[in-house]
Amino acid sequence: MKKMLCLVFLLNACAWVENLYWEEPDYNRLAAHMSVVDKSPRFVTYEYRDIGVDEVAPIAALYCQERGNLQAALYEITMHRNNARRATFVCKKTDEI
């Protein structure tokens, strides 16, 4: 009986951990609510509306990864015209973050 309970507990824990993995963003929805304002090999700035910065961050991570396997770090968020926000991400090496 103890082994059965341990097995059930372990399976539930594995199912819970599986849900923690990063899900691929809905690119069509993000494209409708955000745009690139400025970019260089060392940073990227997005303007977005009706979504959160946590939805923009994976796109910045992909951008930086394509620039030499760098990682994105949020530099600043500013308010802009018409309640739009701008988020700037800096592309850094892993040891710089």
Q: Over its length of 97 residues, how does the chain's per-residue pLDDT go in tens digits?
A: 555 544 445 545 555 444 555 567 788 888 899 999 999 999 999 999 999 999 999 999 999 999 999 999 999 999 988 889 999 999 998 776 5
Q: Burial, 82: exposed, middle or buried (Cβ in 10 Å; 0-12, 13-18, 19+)?
A: exposed
> Looking at domain 27-96, which CATH architecture does it have?
2-Layer Sandwich (3.30)
Only one residue has tokens 């955000």, namely 34
Q: Where are the domains of the chain?
A: 27-96
